[in-house]
Structure 1
Amino acid sequence: MPISQLFDVNSQLAFYGAYHSNKINVLVHMIFVPLILWTSQVLLSQFPVPSVVPALHYEINDYLAFDLNIPAILAGLYIVYYFILEPVAALFYTPQMILSLLTATAYSKGSGNVSNAGILHALSWIAQFLGHGLAEKRAPALVDNLLGAVVLAPFFVHLEILFGLGYRPEMHKRINNEIGKEIARIRKAQGDEKRAAAKSS
């Protein structure tokens, strides 16, 4: 994918949406993508940060805490990227990301909680793959673009909810049109591969 398309919301959402056109699979993602993000933040909180990163910690209460750690840095980068893609939607998403980060950080401090998060993380991924295999009937986006799929997933789910609430209908229609074109392109490529394989066998 060209670098210019990495910052084009239509291209990015068309790519991701082409792998998530089934309503059941989209619902599965709405449930489990936030869980994957949250459990990832719990798990990554155990990794040390480079020495150049200042040690910052602020505990709001037993359920909300902030550390300047790997999850916090990644959350900041995610939000910056989302603002580049679609500023208003990113603004709406920012409180959700902050809440996810603060609760994950606080939860990671409890005894045995990291192990629990690891189990939930694995189960959430299994649910995602089942959604693709049983409902979407195709491989997930991460097979073709791991980084793009992992980074885009939370924002895609967020936008799907916003679109359902009537957010920017013209944008929703435009992206759906692009998704249709992308699905047609992928199916054509798959058909060409099958025909080529049949000829060579």
Structure 2
Amino acid sequence: MSDVAWSEGRWTHDPAHVEVVGDGLVVTARAGSDAWRTTSYGFVHDSEHALLTAHEQDTAFEVSFDLDFSNQFDQAGIFLRVDPETWIKAGVELSDGVENLGAVVTRGESDWSLSPVPSWAGRRVTVRASRAGNAVTIRARVDSEPWQLVRVAPLDASAVVHSGPYCCAPSADPLTVHFTSWRRAAADAGLHPDG
């Protein structure tokens, strides 16, 4: 596994503020920023702050951040983008006052899934996106606890994909996230652990 330099990525939309602090990156998301397409709400939001670089086939990326959210729909994690209508965001989102681990998979329209993780508040979260075959496998963990499977989603093996850390602040208040690392590794060997 190797570190990805923060300077390697390019923002989809510039955050309100970005600062390198030690080895980490502190990012302030603009109030009202979000990524969503149509489903249930009827709107398209394309204003997320995602720092992306090329995500080759048979490669995994990991993004770590300190979880400290306070406003409805505050969110951070990893973002994978093919084009404006084909993308995935996965990580933790504050929904109705509870931290939730989840993903939004978008192919024309968005598909959202969540699972409550209130015990993760105030801790370090790592989200991993592993690209192999015709899929991307999303896993996450808190601190050094075991990985949890978040989502397996189709992803064309021939697609040009860019991925990296992201955050959004859909409410009326900005959000500041401390990203502690961004790393690249070989893709996971399989979907399930041996044994």
TM-score between both structures, scaled by the size of structure 2? 0.26
The structure where helix makes up a greater share of residues is 1
The structure where strand makes up a greater share of residues is 2
Higher Cα Rg, which structure = 1
TM-score between both structures, scaled by the size of structure 1? 0.25
